[in-house]
Structure 1
Amino acid sequence: MPSPLSRRTLLRAALTTTAATPLVLASPGTAHAADPYDTLRLKWRDLVLGTGFDPAAEPYASRLTALGATAARLRSTMRRVPGSLWPDLPYADPEPDTDSESFTYSGNLGTSYDRLRTLTEAYAQPGTGLTGDPALLAELLAALDHLHDEAYHAGQTRYGNWWNWQIGIPQALLDICVHLYDHLGAARITRFTAAVDHFVPDSTVASYTGTSTGANRVDLCRVLALRGVIGRSSAKTALARDALGPVFPYVTSGDGLYADGSFIQHTYVPYAGTYGAVMLGGLSLLFALLDGSPWEVTDPNRQTVFDSVEKAYAPFLYNGLAMDGVSGRAVSRGVQKSDTRSVLQDDHLRGHAIVACIALLGQSASSTERARWDAMVKGWIDRARYRPVLDSDALGVAQLARLKAIADGTATAAPEPVGHRLFPAMDRAVHRRPDWAAAVSMASRRITHYENGNGENLRGWHTGSGMLYWWGDTYGNGQYSDAFWPTVDPLRLPGTTVSRKPLADGEGGAWGAPRPDVRWVGGATDGTYAAVGQYLKGLSSTLLAKKSWFFLDDAIVCLGAGIHGRDGTRVETIVDNRNLGANGSHALTVDGTAQPTRLGLHATFTGARWAHLAGFGGYVFPGGANLSALREARTGAWSDINTGGTTDPVTRRYLTLWCDHGTDPTWDTYAYVVLPGATAERTAARAADTTRLTVLANTGEQQGVHVPALGFTGVNLWFAGTVGDVTTTAPASVMIREMGRTATVCVSGPLRDGAVIDLTWRRAVPSVVSHDPSVQVVTTGARLTLRVTPGTAGAVHKAVVSLG
């Protein structure tokens, strides 16, 4: 688990060689006789620093100039004194009982190597003002010797965070060795590779456990591969290649890729947006590096990595952003303190990094896959209006050059896909329509409410309590990017049902420890629409609730029941909490009446039937609801939720809508419909159309809806029972979609106990057209009975039937 200083940006870990300004290498260094080690070393330089573009053109020229300025500032403050290389980064080995200092000091040592890497790149590349500076070269060599002799050498006992010693520092050191190889001399190379061998021995990858899994394993293999290249060791490079093997197969528990497209790191955390991106970025680099060499990765299981582009990563990319629900504690990084400037992270920049990974991985994929991915990448570039990809601070020159080549190429930009994807292994669901997308984040005994650690994401308590994210095709793309996390009320995250019981920073424990003791989380989908449900137990509270979402053509139907708590505090369901920006005054209309736009509006609407927020969409309340609304300006700082964040205050305006269940509610309910992008007129018309949607049940035992116009029936049965025309003999999620003379019946067992589910649909079904092997046809005719053997993975099982 890296320290706060270890992954200041996703780019540092996954894609480039510095957390500061992205750089470019215009030409290789001294020519060498063609041997595999020199070939790979020069290839690595091209991969991470770029080639084949004009360094005097934008955006490259300005980045190189900025790199030079950063390097000059770092150079001016560098001092080789005992215990540090920079005065603000003491790394001296602390006393044995000072764990917190040990943690900081090892991070400082890692940052010292990162700064040297920045200086090295300023020396190696054109246009920086320090290119080829012989005095700088001498200072770099002396600084490397200083850090080696004092801290990072064979025989040194490590202290603080393991990640710094085994991944962060050796990656920086080996990158420096690649760029300065012709100036190091044999003695230095021997000393430096011995240091890497000491901290990253072969035994580090001997077993696929602990800190040597998933993204961390790929990072370790990167270290071993480059150590083999720099030290001219075939055995080390071969070990790096072979140690990648355990990363490829699908897993059924713990860290890694799952067959359903889930990616987990730290055992309990959905992490495609950060650790998954690190893994994808590392693999894309290593595949490209070793391709065509004696150590080429030929393991046939590597195909799972290529498959993951469309199964595990693309579903969470929208208009260039990566959805926050799979980015773990990284959502709290926002604007972080850095050596010379503030470093921004957000969902868009994380998305840009993944898009760049996909572009690079395409170089190792089949021509068919590459053509598909180039079209996807070009589409993301075209639609990234909120934060343009080709002007992204998250990308280095090499990444930008690869992406620009695709943008200028012949591929036809692919549109955002339409459909629904369930990810049972990580309690996530993503719904896409032609002009909007949504995602829901849940928690269970398998998946954490939230992850905090290393002082990060201290108030992400309720992100797994049914948080519902949504974005429009041309609107709302900055909802979670624009200082949302430090300014939003953490007890009022959109879509969640929460007790307003005060919680401590880091409540429940770190590294995914806060997991509710519930199993029923999951759903059923035909790939277009879906029924999704969560049995919610509140974090460190007595709160209980059953929550369901029915994802349809232009709407999300949200039901809640069994809402119960005894914390002595109010319980609320947050219909939405829209970030209006620094000065937004979007109009709110409730039941046809425009509400004041002044800050401080706090109103309750008894029996509200609909509401509309200009610029975003509408909300319908079947049967009416007691709706509360609050318009407020909220001020916070990134340091409030992340100890590495900046302390500068930021203020954003919010419009919050919620249903108040009162203090210590007893089995309360809610029902509302979200209409992304709807006009006020369409919202009012939908509220007036009482025949379109029928709520079949909304209790603590069953929840379900029927939409005749779509042929849709969705039911979540928390216990065996009957809802409408559907009966099951065990807890289940059921989705039925009628289309003309056929219907698709979808069933899952969210408890994942493997119990057989007998489903009866009281509908005339003359025959079953097709069915999964896990589905047995028991009866047809006046009614349909299917016997489903659901397994333990929460998968959806389908049958297509004819209708009488």
Structure 2
Amino acid sequence: MTTPWSRRGFLTASAGTAVALGLGTRASADSDEFATLRAKWRTLILGEGFDPAAEPFASRLADLGATARGLLATMAPATGSLWPDLVYADPDPDTDQESYGYSGNMNTSYTRLNTLAQAYCRPGTGLTGDTGLRDAILTGLDHLHDDVYNAGRTRYGNWYSWQIGAPQALLDVCVLLYDALSAAQLANYLAAVDHFVPDSAVASYSGTSTGANRVDLCRVLALRGVVGASAAKVALARDALSPVLPYVTSGDGLYTDGSFVQHTTVPYTGSYGSVLLGGLGLLFALLAGSSWAVTDPNRQIVFDAVEHAWAPFLYNGLVMDAVSGRAISRGLSASDPKQVQQDDHLRGHPILASIVLLGQGASAAENARWRGLVKGWTQRDYYSPPLNDPVLGLPQLARLKGVQDDTSVTAVAEPTGHRLFPSMARATHRRPGWAAALSMADRRITYYETGNGENLRGWHTGSGMLYWWGDTFANGQYSDAFWPTVDPYRLPGTTVSRKVLADAAGGDWGASLPDVNWVGGATDGERAAVGQYLKGLQSTLMAKKSWFFLDDTVVCLGAGIKCTDGTAVETTVENRNLGPTGGAPFTVDGTVKPAAYPWSETLTGAKWAHIGGHGGYVFPGGATVRALREARDGSWSTINKGGSTTVLNRKYLTLYVDHGTDPVNASYAYLLLPGATAARTQARAADTGWLTVLANTDSQQGVTVPSLGFTGVNFWFGGTVGTLTASDPCCVMITEKADGTAVIAVSDPMRMRTSLTLTWRRAIASVTSAPASVTSAATGSALTLTFGDLTATAGATQRITVTLG
């Protein structure tokens, strides 16, 4: 039986028995610290601690060998290309979009060489140590250097290809084939890297050298130093990481509230954030114990962010699309028909593996806790089991398998609670059996991001899109070709004008921001009141939208809806992706509706509706709602210029409120009950005393749920709602508890209040805790709280605990 490919085996193969793989004898004579770092990097990128003869590794290694043989057979060095299907010679460098494609082909050419090098170095590929393969890789490296990536070339197209993509792949190959490369070859390749990634690339923390991009650049500089035995380059890479680590208050980076932003205005925890987390984990691990270990005390911020910034957006193995930017449009590729469709699960799995790697440098308590979280996420991902992930790299797969097989690790259950991320206009809500996320936009956070021809129709994802998932159901809701087939004007939770928008409307890279300030909310950590002053993208649409996140329900209100676009305005209550078959039964007020496609009906006076296997919807007092079953065709190429043109078909069940053409003061109210049965939905609709809508106007929106002791009010303007009076715009959420206490959560979503007075006409015996922002508190027959300057709180919730009178 083949012995496990252990850490010692990898180190031995890279530094002691290089001759066995046909690499020559140079490594055995090279015992300096750089050789140690090269060996460590080999381990990090090839993986450790797994048996190459056991599954899931054996088949993955065999597939790698098959892929490598295919690449080897089609490699044909020619002027302008290394593979005929990847022409990188740009005939017209002045055409930006085309140049992006050509530079991307150069990048991909290096990535293919990296694939060949891994097939050469890994066991079980059928090509391990194959001298013919090695010589072909060397030929490819020399060809790309002489033809395109050299110190005399001026870059074109996408800067990323020249400064991150190509050099990362090139330097990985240099590490893997270090002993087969001549001094002249190494000097040529490193001169090219120095040319395209000079020290000045990290001289200023700005432009394309921030956040995840900065981490990627530091990886290039560190590996250039390791391969070229340059202590100065490695030190530069380490030091250039420091600006990434501290919290930021604007622009790219991590915020104290757990937000992560890239490209200045885009919530990106699930995409660029994944790159940042993975890159930091690799660099921390590479440099640990060396002369260049990362010792900046701010690295603890990154460790804290695992649970503060990333975990809230991970649910049973997936990472929520609400924080993945334009990556949601990357499904099937036109250039690689064999590529597996990307989705929220496949984006989530690398984050899990990165957390495992990062844990190796964290405290023992953090590492143990994180391994428990990862084990839970891995075990619960029934829709797309991580250990069967066809995209996940072998090192990442080995890390997750190691956690799964570790009997000392107990899987941690999904937590319950609410998290607000005011710095990126996002919220997450978790309850037993389900989770939800909310996407909004304001003057700091873009409606959506498009760029590089990607995410061309994500226009309304920031218009109050309400995502939700079940624990044992609907985990593929947004995974199964949702984005190319959904009606982009009917995203669940959104209020939009049907005005036709052009692809990429609003401009690239998150350029378009709504001129609104009141977006945010308040939470006690379990429940929340959240609001969005909505202005439509390239539209006259205006609306006030509120969500009250409760124990088994999300209460959704809309008011002041007006528009003069000359088109219909709709609020989408739900738009469930029912897959290719669409078999879910649909019931309204006890009547089962037709299951045929297409089908539509105006539901007049509807009190409740239920989608079998998904959840329920209640319309307080009755509402006129339109229901629609439709089979929708779409392809990834419609939303991403690099996407596959293959036509996909998915069936949808949509519920929406038609506010008519050019509404003046329209409104809506509904309750979402994820996972509820039809009987429970009907019972909630019949319990007319469960919820009282205190206000649903352009000035205030609020509700109370007596059985929960809950009151939530969004004051768009100062005024009185129920027992609450606010002097100015603010968000207030109160929970009265059975022990005779209450928590009052208040925030200034506009970040503009220099003072605020809030009165609650409820007998209060005492204030037991209050933040420094509260300058006075008067108790007795009513509570009057006076707040000082709230502009520096960045929309964060101010929590006050009182004893009820």
TM-score higher than 0.5 here? yes
Q: What is the rounded CA distance, in whole Å, between the counterparts of 1:630 and 1:200 in structure 2?
A: 54
Q: What is the rounded CA distance, in whole Å, between the counterparts of 1:99 and 1:771 in structure 2?
A: 55
Q: What is the rounded CA distance, in whole Å, between the counterparts of 1:42 and 1:801 in structure 2?
A: 59
| CA drift at 1:344 | 2.0
Aligned residues between the structures = 781
Q: Which residue of 1 aligns with 2:791?
A: 791
| CA drift at 1:763 | 0.6
| CA drift at 1:407 | 1.1
Match of 1:329 among 326, 331, 334: 326
| CA drift at 1:124 | 1.4
Superposed, 1:111-510 pairs within 5 Å as: 111-339=108-336, 341-409=338-406, 410-510=408-508
> 1:13-38 CA deviation, whole Å, 9 max, x = no partner?
xxxxxxxxxxx969632423532101
Quick check: 2:765–2:803 contact (8 Å CA) kept in 1?
Answer: yes
Alignment gaps of 5+ in structure 1: 1-23
Q: What is the rounded CA distance, in whole Å, between the counterparts of 2:50 and 2:79 in structure 1?
A: 42
**The residue matched to 2:298 in structure 1 has which SS?**
helix
- 568-577 or 131-140: which moved more? 131-140
| CA drift at 1:366 | 0.4
Q: What is the rounded CA distance, in whole Å, between the counterparts of 1:469 and 1:450 in structure 2?
A: 15
> 1:46-90 CA deviation, whole Å, 9 max, x = no partner?
111112211111111111111111111111111111121111222
**The residue matched to 2:625 in structure 1 has which SS?**
strand
| CA drift at 1:354 | 0.6
> 1:562-583 CA deviation, whole Å, 9 max, x = no partner?
0101111111110000000100
**The residue matched to 1:747 in structure 2 has which SS?**
strand
Quick check: 1:342–1:646 contact (8 Å CA) kept in 2?
Answer: no
**Closer/same/farther in 2, CA of residues 40 and 26 from structure 1, 3 Å limit:** closer
> 1:368-425 CA deviation, whole Å, 9 max, x = no partner?
1001101101110111111001111231121111111111111111000100000000
**Closer/same/farther in 2, CA of residues 340 and 113 from structure 1, 3 Å limit:** farther
> 1:491-513 CA deviation, whole Å, 9 max, x = no partner?
00000001111111001111001
Q: What is the rounded CA distance, in whole Å, between the counterparts of 2:140 and 2:419 in structure 1?
A: 51
Q: What is the rounded CA distance, in whole Å, between the counterparts of 2:297 and 2:451 in structure 1?
A: 36
Q: What is the rounded CA distance, in whole Å, between the counterparts of 2:258 and 2:691 in structure 1?
A: 32
Q: Which residue of 2 aligns with 1:801?
A: 802
Quick check: 1:94–1:101 contact (8 Å CA) kept in 2?
Answer: no
Q: Which residue of 2 aligns with 1:19?
A: none
> 1:126-165 CA deviation, whole Å, 9 max, x = no partner?
2212221111211111111111111111121111111111
Quick check: 1:637–1:646 contact (8 Å CA) kept in 2?
Answer: yes
- 187-196 or 87-96: which moved more? 87-96
Quick check: 2:767–2:777 contact (8 Å CA) kept in 1?
Answer: no
Q: Which residue of 2 aligns with 1:11?
A: none
Q: Which residue of 1 aligns with 2:14?
A: 29
> 1:283-310 CA deviation, whole Å, 9 max, x = no partner?
0000011110110000001100001100
Q: Which residue of 2 aligns with 1:590?
A: 588
Quick check: 2:97–2:452 contact (8 Å CA) kept in 1?
Answer: no
- 336-345 or 746-755: which moved more? 336-345
Q: What is the rounded CA distance, in whole Å, between the counterparts of 2:212 and 2:302 in structure 1?
A: 12
Residue type of the partner of 1:434? Answer: P
Q: Does 1:631 align with 2:629?
A: yes
Quick check: 1:701–1:718 contact (8 Å CA) kept in 2?
Answer: yes
> 1:523-581 CA deviation, whole Å, 9 max, x = no partner?
00000000000000011111111000000000000000001011111111100000001
Quick check: 2:617–2:670 contact (8 Å CA) kept in 1?
Answer: yes
Q: Which residue of 2 aligns with 1:725?
A: 723
Q: What is the rounded CA distance, in whole Å, between the counterparts of 2:68 and 2:191 in structure 1?
A: 28
Residue type of the partner of 1:569? Answer: T
**The residue matched to 1:344 in structure 2 has which SS?**
coil
Q: Does 1:711 align with 2:688?
A: no
> 1:450-498 CA deviation, whole Å, 9 max, x = no partner?
1000010000010000000001111110000000000000000000001
Residue type of the partner of 1:724? Answer: G
Residue type of the partner of 1:103? Answer: Y
Q: What is the rounded CA distance, in whole Å, between the counterparts of 2:338 and 2:598 in structure 1?
A: 35
Quick check: 1:265–1:275 contact (8 Å CA) kept in 2?
Answer: yes
Q: What is the rounded CA distance, in whole Å, between the counterparts of 2:584 and 2:712 in structure 1?
A: 34
Quick check: 1:25–1:125 contact (8 Å CA) kept in 2?
Answer: no
> 1:653-684 CA deviation, whole Å, 9 max, x = no partner?
00000111111111111000000111111111
Q: Which residue of 2 aligns with 1:765?
A: 764
Q: What is the rounded CA distance, in whole Å, between the counterparts of 1:638 and 1:251 in structure 2?
A: 35
Quick check: 2:11–2:40 contact (8 Å CA) kept in 1?
Answer: no
> 1:189-248 CA deviation, whole Å, 9 max, x = no partner?
111111111111111101100000000000000000000000000000000000000000
- 574-583 or 400-409: which moved more? 400-409
**The residue matched to 2:578 in structure 1 has which SS?**
strand
**Closer/same/farther in 2, CA of residues 618 and 100 from structure 1, 3 Å limit:** closer
| CA drift at 1:343 | 3.3
Q: Does 1:748 align with 2:747?
A: yes
Q: How many percent identity over aligned positions?
A: 67
Q: Which residue of 1 aligns with 2:4?
A: none
Q: What is the rounded CA distance, in whole Å, between the counterparts of 1:52 and 1:614 in structure 2?
A: 45
Quick check: 2:269–2:310 contact (8 Å CA) kept in 1?
Answer: yes
**The residue matched to 2:14 in structure 1 has which SS?**
coil
| CA drift at 1:101 | 3.3
Quick check: 2:340–2:391 contact (8 Å CA) kept in 1?
Answer: no
Q: Does 1:696 align with 2:694?
A: yes
Quick check: 1:788–1:797 contact (8 Å CA) kept in 2?
Answer: no
Q: Does 1:80 align with 2:98?
A: no
Q: What is the rounded CA distance, in whole Å, between the counterparts of 2:527 and 2:467 in structure 1?
A: 17
Quick check: 1:444–1:519 contact (8 Å CA) kept in 2?
Answer: yes
Q: Which residue of 2 aligns with 1:512?
A: 510
| CA drift at 1:442 | 0.2
Q: Which residue of 2 aligns with 1:4?
A: none
Q: What is the rounded CA distance, in whole Å, between the counterparts of 1:26 and 1:627 in structure 2?
A: 65
**Closer/same/farther in 2, CA of residues 161 and 771 from structure 1, 3 Å limit:** same
| CA drift at 1:104 | 2.0
**The residue matched to 2:410 in structure 1 has which SS?**
coil
Q: What is the rounded CA distance, in whole Å, between the counterparts of 1:495 and 1:242 in structure 2?
A: 44
Alignment gaps of 5+ in structure 2: 1-8, 17-27
**Closer/same/farther in 2, CA of residues 412 and 646 from structure 1, 3 Å limit:** same
- 307-316 or 751-760: which moved more? 751-760
**The residue matched to 1:190 in structure 2 has which SS?**
helix
Residue type of the partner of 2:779? Answer: T
> 1:408-453 CA deviation, whole Å, 9 max, x = no partner?
1111110001000000000000000011100100001111111000
- 138-147 or 743-752: which moved more? 138-147
Superposed, 1:517-536 pairs within 5 Å as: 517-536=515-534
